[in-house]
Structure 1
Amino acid sequence: MMRIRARTVGLALIAALLPWAAEAEDGNWFSNMLKYGGTTVPPSQGPDLGEVYCPTIDVGENGAALRSYGGRADDNAALRSQITLGRLARECVRLADGSVSVKVGVEGQVLLGPQGRPGRFEAPVYFTIKAGDQTIVTRARKVPVSIGAGEAQGLFSVIEDNLVVPRPLSESYEIGVSLHGNPGKAAAPRKRKKAPANAAVPTESAPGAAQ
Structure 2
Amino acid sequence: MAALAIGLTTAGGAVAEEGNFLTNMFKYGGPTVPPSQPKDLGEPYCPQVDVPEGGAAIRSFGGKGGDNASLRNQVTLGRIARECNRLADGGLSVKVGVAGQVLLGPAGAPGRFEAPLQISIKYGDKVVATRARRVAVSVAPGEAQGLFTVVEDGLIVPPAMAEDYEIVVTLGGSPAKPAPRKRKPAAPPAEAAGAAQ
TM-score range, shorter chain: 0.5 to 0.7
Q: CA separation in 2, counterparts of 1:100 and 1:181?
A: 29
Residues 81-92 of structure 1 correspond to what in structure 2 (within 5 A)?
81-92=73-84
**Equivalence for 1:80:** 72
User: Per the alignment, in what secondary structure is the counterpart of residue 136 of structure 1?
Assistant: strand
Contact 1:72–1:78, Cα closer than 8 Å, also in 2: yes
Name the one with the larger helix percent: 2
Q: CA separation in 1, counterparts of 2:148 and 2:168?
A: 18
Q: CA deviation at 1:125?
A: 1.2
Residues 162-201 of structure 1 correspond to what in structure 2 (within 5 A)?
162-181=154-173
Q: CA separation in 2, counterparts of 1:161 and 1:67?
A: 28
Contact 1:126–1:181, Cα closer than 8 Å, also in 2: no
Contact 2:116–2:173, Cα closer than 8 Å, also in 1: no
Larger radius of gyration: 2
Residues 61-72 of structure 1 correspond to what in structure 2 (within 5 A)?
61-72=53-64
Counterpart residue type for residue 55 of structure 2: G
Q: Does the C-alpha gap of structure 1 residues 181 and 129 become closer, same or farther in structure 2, counting only changes over 3 Å?
A: farther
Residues 91-130 of structure 1 correspond to what in structure 2 (within 5 A)?
91-130=83-122
- 1:17-50 residue CA offsets vs partner (Å, 9 max, x unmatched): xxxxxxxxxxxxxxxxxxxxxxxxxxxxxxx862
Q: Which of 152, 163, 168 is equivalent to 1:160?
A: 152
Q: CA deviation at 1:134?
A: 1.0
Q: CA separation in 2, counterparts of 1:119 and 1:68?
A: 14
**Equivalence for 1:142:** 134
% identity of equivalent residues:
65
Contact 2:85–2:94, Cα closer than 8 Å, also in 1: yes
Q: Which of 38, 42, 46 is equivalent to 1:50?
A: 42
Runs of 4+ in 1 over 4 A off after TM superposition: none
User: Per the alignment, in what secondary structure is the counterpart of residue 54 of structure 1?
Assistant: coil
Of 166-175 and 139-148, deviating more is 139-148
- 1:67-88 residue CA offsets vs partner (Å, 9 max, x unmatched): 0111111111111000000001
Residues 11-22 of structure 1 correspond to what in structure 2 (within 5 A)?
none
Q: Does the C-alpha gap of structure 1 residues 56 and 97 become closer, same or farther in structure 2, counting only changes over 3 Å?
A: same
Counterpart residue type for residue 87 of structure 1: R
User: Per the alignment, in what secondary structure is the counterpart of residue 168 of structure 1?
Assistant: helix
Q: CA separation in 1, counterparts of 2:61 and 2:72?
A: 5
**Structure 1 unaligned blocks of 5 or more:** 1-47, 183-211
Return the TM-score normalized by structure 1: 0.62
**Structure 2 unaligned blocks of 5 or more:** 1-39, 175-197
Contact 2:45–2:162, Cα closer than 8 Å, also in 1: yes
Counterpart residue type for residue 157 of structure 2: V
Q: CA deviation at 1:143?
A: 1.5
Count of aligned positions:
135
Return the TM-score normalized by structure 2: 0.66
